[in-house]
Amino acid sequence: MYALGLLARREYSLAELRQRLALRGYADCAGEVVSQLAEQGMVSDLRYGESRVRVRAEQGVGPLRIQMELKTKGVAEDLIHDLLRMHDDAWLERACAARRKRFGAALPDERSERARQARFLQGRGFSFEQIDHAVYSTNPVKNRDL
């Protein structure tokens, strides 16, 4: 019953649900319960990952950070790559949107400001290519002295 209550509120990864059950005192049967719930389709790493990627991407978080978060929740590495690959075409625009939301529409002219914005995006989990696109997308190549 406790596991169903947890799943009624939000999606969980298999490992995360197993851990929550163990912390609650159900360590001896947590694995079996999670396996049964997975067989019934009530818990799924795929569904959890899709939900988590969508929510975190909408919050302006980049793929590297999302990858790390999913890995800590016990989602398989190959599934993580597949989930992130589904959004490949959107990461560049999401990096630009995160930069615009934080710093405004105008691209930075000064080297120090470009570096500051790049550090912000790096902390959000965007790749160098995505950061480069967001910070320099309309700046001339000659100004790329970061």
Residue pLDDT, tens place only, 109-123? 999 999 999 999 999
Backbone angles phi, psi at 8, to 5 degrees: -70, -25
Largest CA distance in the chain: 63
Between the alpha carbon of residue 93 and those of residues 16, 37, 48, 80, 119, the distances in Å are 31, 37, 24, 20, 17
Q: What is the pTM of this model?
A: 0.85
pLDDT of residue 136: 85
Domains annotated for the chain, with CATH where assigned, are: 1-43 (1.10.10), 91-143 (1.10.10)
pLDDT of residue 59: 94
pLDDT of residue 23: 92
pLDDT of residue 146: 47
**pLDDT beneath 70, residues of the chain:** 138-146
Give me the amino acid identity at 77: E
Average pLDDT, whole number, for the chain? 91
pLDDT of residue 10: 92
pLDDT of residue 140: 43
pLDDT of residue 142: 42
